[in-house]
């Protein structure tokens, strides 16, 4: 499969803790994207990291990309109850092919 | 107020009926997509359109049909040939088809077969 595989499938943490989610893929990519989905809603784009980038930040989000290991991680620092959602990685492979989404990580932040 | 709209939010269908899900965008995006999401699962691509009057099958196109007669609209028909249509359906768009940019998603339509 060309899709990204997220790990863990589910994660439960206390408010204020950091949350780390990982995404692995199998073939070369143009970029990797992270999305968030609140229950019963559409996905919202969080961050895009290109294959020649190693780290990007956006507010409390930090994304890293290791192309040698074909993996990416999403770190949410100082989590809040409002961060409770599912988080998906999506890989954009080289060439003219659609984004491929993984199955997601369900994050629960307990107040 | 730009964005993607999907209607209806909830849809109920009797077995054997065709139903059409609406997706409209005013973002002036060339590319549009339809995904299916089952409980606790990721997104699976049904159909996509790179440009008006063009569309291609995704990974799970059987039992579905689409049209792209206008840039703004990409309706999805769930036909009676789709054996297990109960799911959450998401429409998305992007400036261009290549995966280099982000996709913008609508709020989704939850389809239930009675």
Please list the rounded mean pLDDT of every run of 10 residues in chain A (111 residues): 78 97 93 96 96 97 97 98 97 86 95 91
**pLDDT given for residue B40 in this prediction:** 79
The Cα–Cα gap between B78 and A61 comes to 38
**pLDDT given for residue A96 in this prediction:** 79
Q: Do A42 and B110 touch (CB under 8 A)?
A: no
Q: Assess A36–B contact: CB distance below 8 Å, yes or no.
A: no
Mean of pLDDT values over B39-55: 93
* DSSP-H helix ranges across chain B: none
Mean of pLDDT values over B9-16: 92
Contacts of A88 in chain B (CB under 8 A): 42-43
Contacts of A1 in chain B (CB under 8 A): none
- Report the first-to-last Cα separation within chain A, whole angstroms: 37
How far out from the chain centre does Cα A20 lie? 9
How many Å is the Cα radius of gyration of chain B? 13
Q: What are the tens digits of pLDDT across the range B67-76?
A: 999 999 999 9
Q: Assess A30–B contact: CB distance below 8 Å, yes or no.
A: yes
Two tokens, residue B2: 């730009």
CB environment B35-71: b (16+ within 10 A), e (fewer): bbbeeeebbbbbbbbbeeeebeebeebeebbbebeeb
Q: How confident is the model at residue B1 (pLDDT cuts 50, 70, 90)?
A: low
The Cα–Cα gap between A11 and A81 comes to 13
**pLDDT given for residue B100 in this prediction:** 73
**pLDDT given for residue A1 in this prediction:** 45
Measured over all CA atoms, what is the biggest interatomic distance in chain B, rounded to whole angstroms? 40
pLDDT above 70 (res B2): no
The Cα–Cα gap between A10 and B5 comes to 30
**pLDDT given for residue A94 in this prediction:** 77
Q: Do A93 and B99 touch (CB under 8 A)?
A: yes
Contacts of B110 in chain A (CB under 8 A): 40
Q: Assess B103–A contact: CB distance below 8 Å, yes or no.
A: yes
Q: How confident is the model at residue B99 (pLDDT cuts 50, 70, 90)?
A: low
The Cα–Cα gap between A90 and A101 comes to 4
């Amino acid at each position: 499969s060309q899709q990204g595989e997220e790990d863990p499938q589910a994660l439960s943490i206390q408010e204020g803790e950091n949350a780390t989610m990982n995404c692995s893929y199998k073939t070369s990519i143009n970029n990797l994207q992270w999305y968030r989905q609140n229950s019963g809603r559409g996905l919202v784009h969080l961050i895009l990291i290109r294959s020649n980038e190693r780290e990007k930040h956006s507010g409390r989000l930090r994304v890293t990309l290791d192309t040698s290991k074909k993996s990416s991680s999403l770190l949410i620092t100082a989590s809040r109850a409002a961060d409770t959602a599912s988080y998906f990685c999506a890989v954009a492979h080289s060439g003219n092919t659609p984004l491929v989404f993984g199955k997601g990580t369900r994050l629960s932040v307990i107040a | 107020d730009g964005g993607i709209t999907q209607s209806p939010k909830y849809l109920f269908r009797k077995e054997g009926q065709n139903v059409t899900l609406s997706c409209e965008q005013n973002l002036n995006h060339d590319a549009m997509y339809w995904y299916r999401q089952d409980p606790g699962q990721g997104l699976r691509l049904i159909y996509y359109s790179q440009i008006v009057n063009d569309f291609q099958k995704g990974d799970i196109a059987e039992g579905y049909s689409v049209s792209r007669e206008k840039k703004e609209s990409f309706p999805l028909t769930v036909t009676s040939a789709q054996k297990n249509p109960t799911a959450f359906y998401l429409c998305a768009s992007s400036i261009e088809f290549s995966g280099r940019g982000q996709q913008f998603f609508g709020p989704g339509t939850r389809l239930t077969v009675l």
